[in-house]
Amino acid sequence: MAAGCCALGLVLAGPLRAGGQVSVEDLRAFADAWGYIKENFVEELDDRRLFEAAIRGMLSELDEHSAWLSGDDLDRVEEQASGRYGGLGLRIVVQDDHLRVVEAMGNSPAQRAGLVADDRIVAINDTELNASNSREALNWLRGSPGSRVELIVERDGEAEPRYVVLHRELINRSSVSLEPLEDGYWRLHIRQFQHNTADELDQLLSTLRTDHGLPPGLVLDLRDNPGGVLQAAVAVADRFLSEQLVVYTEGRNEGQNLSLGSGVGESLPGVPVVVLINRGSASAAEIVAGALQDHGRAIILGQRSHGKGSIQTVWPLRNGGGVRLTTARYYTPSGRRIEAGGIEPDELIADEDMLQVNGSDPVLARALQLFRSAERLYRGSGQLD
């Protein structure tokens, strides 16, 4: 055990003493602590549990986004980036004591079982959700295609919770959808930024131009978009900007200082754009909203965004786990740091006006009002009227 402890101590070669290096006494103290815990904790522990706990503890001291990843966690990171996973076809927001449904995807197990937006999942496979396990519960919804999941679901207006049994399927999650609105306007909804998001977007916009021509206005809906792949966010912004800076990053190492910009030309030149955001819009979604706002390419409508302005790099480790580490912070083209502050909308919508009632969407309705009244809308020259 002693040799293993010392090896782990070398991984912990950070400033255990303010401004100092790890000493031999520090390594011995760590080995002592390991021994006390191993021999005296009220429950018997194995070395792997202590080993992973040590890494988790080290990373948790850094920031809220750095973390130890199990093998299952690594699989989930790849699933989110690729859009393919074994699951139920749900988009979820984690709350303190439940999972809130944002969307049940079309022709998914969740949709066929009758789940709808704003349903609250309060128990999974007989385990009630609470503040300590609700984030972990996201993994409980995933699994091998064909496997069974039991949910307890609450819904506003219903006195009794629902008991729902579903079977997981292989989900190919589309990240982009396009739908017509009134008077020739269109809504482009990006749910998450995946590796294939830009390709999906190009196909939809190509069909739009071919079948309908350039629309009089486009709503880019980034509400409850948690972010995703940085390169996908830059590629999406590139479709609306021409030869302009999208985002720049600053880190400790030279290779983490990047300036990422758009190429020549736009997919919808001259088309006014209104971007919808809320508190669930984070990370890559904030990069897109911030870039279009800074360059005067769009009006931002909704609530202040989440404020996740940092980049995490994932390193798989040789034991099957991995490390997710914050390696840089990103800034909008004008130099705004998104971390904690978020993106401030050009027009702020009050909480009570964000709620959808009987299928109506007041924020989307306000976007259409902006188009019709030509209030401060982009006209194709990078200026705002």
Catalytic option among 134, 283, 305, 310: 283
C-alpha span between 171 and 87 (Å, rounded)? 6
Pairing of strands 273-277, 218-221: parallel
The residues near 38 (Cβ < 8 Å, ≥ 6 apart) are 1, 45, 47, 50
DSSP readout, 49-79? HHHHHHHHHHHHTT-SS-EEE-HHHHHHHHH
Vertex 23 angle, CA 20 and 28, to 5°: 140
Question: Does the annotation mark 267 as catalytic?
Answer: no
Write down the catalytic residue from 134, 175, 308, 310: 308
Task: Report whether 98 contacts 165 (CB < 8 A).
Answer: no
294 is catalytic: yes
What 3-state DSSP class applies to 47?
A: helix
Per the annotation, the verdict on 38 as an active-site residue is no
C-alpha atoms less than 13 angstroms from C-alpha of 30 in its C-beta half-sphere: 25
CA 89 to chain centroid, in Å, comes to 16
Q: Contact at 8 Å (CB) between 103 and 90?
A: yes
Active-site hit among 221, 224, 238, 294: 294
Other C-beta atoms closer than 10 Å to the C-beta of 158 total 10
Q: Which residues are catalytic?
A: 283, 294, 308
